[in-house]
Copies of this chain bind each other. A is one copy, B any other.
Amino acid sequence: MNRQIVLQSRPAGAPTPANFALVERPIPEPSDGEVLTRTLWLSLDPYMRGRMNDAQSYASSVPIGGVMVGGTVGAVVASRDPRFSAGDIVLGSGGWQEYAVLPGASLRKLDSALAPVSLYLGVLGMPAMTAYVGLLDLGRPREGETVVVSAASGAVGSVVGQIAKIKGCRTVGVAGGPDKCRYVVETLGLDACVDHRAPALAEALARACPNGVDVYFENVGGAVQQAVWPLLNQFARVPVCGLIAQYNDETPRPGPSMWSVLRKRLSVRGFIVSDHADRLDAFLHDMSAWVREGRVKYREDVVDGLEHAPEAFLGLLQGRNFGKLLVRVAS
């Protein structure tokens, strides 16, 4: 049988375990051009919160009763696509389930000799590529500028901060709690990290950014955004990647004053990595070198067993994870 986590009901405000259900269904059969995979690793990412809503988003909602979506690394069990054979390790979008039938054309074969395959869901995968295109293409940091990144110990933020350092920027993270802040400075090598749970966030951030902020990589919104905004310099760039502090709003809260956008000639841009697929080769080239050379470090937060995915995901939305959150579905 195939164990799956399905969307049982849509959340009103913050999601709860009752919004999910574990079901068992027969393992499906691949048709022509399809591949049956056994899930090894499931990636849990903040964007999945949006898929739980009915509202129009940049991607379609998960239907009630549907399997939660998600990036996966799986082992091919049976293939009706000539490019894949049993035993191949593949990257795809298998979702929150133990087995998935996927179009061969949607899969990428991974070489487990090159790197631990879970990295293709993190520092060599979608979250890191999000960091790469958002920072480099939208943020356009120049040497000596100041970059601030929120959720700085997370899967996206940790890569943003390290690339900004590679590019010669003063780089300041914002993270929740002293352990994460210490990690951001001591392990990731950022110049400073401000704890958004500590009092006087705005003052602490201002002290950490004596020359103002030229790039704010936005992952969280809310109070952190409000603290960063007055520090933005003329011509600052704000790539908007996520707003995790606002995902449970039932009515979208207003944003920063447009007067600041005009007066400071800000460039504020929402983006999603899938619109930038043309940058995949450049990303893989640069990032695999940086990881190999130890210039980009990573940390995985691994949860064992598909049945723990909902709880782990709810923790992610509250910042309880520490590093890239992964579910080890099978070994």
Q: Which A residues contact B (CB, under 8 angstroms)?
A: 50, 56-58, 218, 221, 225, 234, 240-243, 246, 249, 252-272, 275
Contact = CB atoms under 8 A, between A and B. Distances in A.
Contact of A264 (B58, B264, B268): B58
Contacts of A218: 258
26 contacts: A50-B263, A56-B263, A221-B258, A240-B258, A240-B261, A240-B262, A243-B258, A246-B258, A249-B259, A252-B257, A253-B257, A254-B256, A255-B256, A255-B257, A255-B261, A261-B269, A261-B270, A262-B270, A265-B269, A265-B271, A265-B275, A266-B269, A267-B268, A267-B269, A267-B270, A268-B268
State the copy count for this chain: 2
A259 B266 contact: no
Nearest to A261: B270
A260 B240 CA distance: 10
Contacts of A257: 252-255
A266 B266 CA distance: 13
Nearest to A267: B269
A255 B252 contact: no
B255 A265 contact: no
Nearest to A266: B270
A107 B249 CA distance: 54
